[in-house]
Amino acid sequence: MRYTDFTSHDLLLLLQGLGVSVGLFIATTVIGLLLGLSWAMLRYYRTPLAAPLAAALAELLKNSPVLVQLFLVFFGLPVLLQMDLTPVQAALITLSGNTAAFIYVIAVSAIESVGREQLETARVFGMSRWQTLRRIVAPQAAAFGLGPLAGLLVNQLQVTSLISVIGVVDLTKVGAILNLRTLKPFIVWTVIGLLYYLMARLVAWACARVEGRLRVHSQWKGL
């Protein structure tokens, strides 16, 4: 194998890998939010069968290794369902489900953090469960849950690096390619690490800004 120095094309390769990592992170975060909040609503409304099933699924996903889940989806799901699955699709399914499981836990904790006296007062005033959720529970729960959510998103951003093992050409995979070609691991992995660090700081900063605004506007001011 012939080893070469860095070229101008390596920057394009890095940007491509960065785009894949960011794109998958955003997509799995959005899908995970929708799924996790939907599961939390099943618990809030005490939906028979569906609520315990969602809780069991979340428990299973959050307490098993992401890498094992990735292998099960990529190698096992196509055999089980007799279907073709690309590495990107497998990564999307796995990370979305894993993110949803942790968001479910955060959402449930945030909802339960709202004082019971506020819920009792809402019932006295004849508010429905939906009105109570929208006007009282949701604003306070969002402010309470955003801190843990920020930590989760930073962690999930780092977890995206695992998808390179099934062939997704993300930022980590690009780092491995450049490392093999140049044999300069210190430079390559320092750059890759810095890019992940900058993305994590950006996510944390954005969440902190939103959390600050929510805490200002979510103080319960009575009915």
pLDDT tens for 84-98 read 899 999 999 999 999
Q: What is the mean pLDDT of residues 40-53?
A: 89
Provide φ and ψ at 220, rounded to 5°.
-70, 125
What does the mean pLDDT of the chain come to?
A: 88
pTM: 0.87
| Cβ burial 41-62 (10 Å sphere, 16+ → b, else e) | bbbbeeeeeebeebbebbeebb
- Counted residue by residue, the chain has a size of 223
The two tokens of residue 204 are 């944390």
Check if the beta carbon of residue 157 is closer than 8 Å to that of residue 181: no
The mean pLDDT of 180-203, rounded to a whole number, is 94
Distance CA 24, CA 7 (A): 27
- Cα atoms in the Cβ-side hemisphere of radius 13 Å centred on 108: 21
* Lowest-confidence pick of 10-14, 91-95, 142-146, 198-202: 142-146
Region 194-222 average pLDDT: 80
Whether the pLDDT of residue 211 is over 80: the answer is: no
183, 190 Cβ separation under 8 angstroms = no
Number of H helices, E strands in the chain: 10, 0
Of the two residues 185 and 112, the one the predictor is more confident about is 185
Q: At the top level of CATH, which class does the domain 8-217 belong to?
A: mainly alpha
